[in-house]
Amino acid sequence: SAERERSGALAKSTVEQVLARVLAEYRKRLDPAARELIVRRAGSDTAILGSEVEKLCLLVGERTTIAEADVRLSFPDLAESWVFDLTAALAARDGAKALPVLRSLFTQGEPPLRLV
């Protein structure tokens, strides 16, 4: 019974509830940029979202704050918003932004033909 957007994606309030529950359990915080990125990448399944946030909490180890770089490193784009990140970087001819997104997609197992 998760609240959803018209597109079927999880509503921001639902994502925030999942984040609050998992982050409290692991005693972690998100920096604002990391939170924004997770909200964009949240997708439509609360169980998968919760699982990915738990993995993220484990990834940072003893650190209490999760940074945007941590999210980019290990949190898959469940909403496939990567296309906007990648196309924006390519349109701006910003290889420094496009390359990490591309690497992340390959690491996540994204088929190269789909990226073309």
CB 45 within 8 A of CB 60: no
Q: From CA 74, how far away is CA 61, in angstroms rounded?
A: 13
CB 74 within 8 A of CB 110: no
Q: What is the pLDDT of residue 81?
A: 60
Q: What is the pLDDT of residue 80?
A: 67
Q: What is the pLDDT of residue 23?
A: 97
Q: What is the pLDDT of residue 82?
A: 65
Q: From CA 19, how far away is CA 37, in angstroms rounded?
A: 12
Q: What is the pLDDT of residue 109?
A: 73
Q: What is the pLDDT of residue 31?
A: 96
Q: What is the pLDDT of residue 102?
A: 86
Residues of the chain with pLDDT below 50 are: none
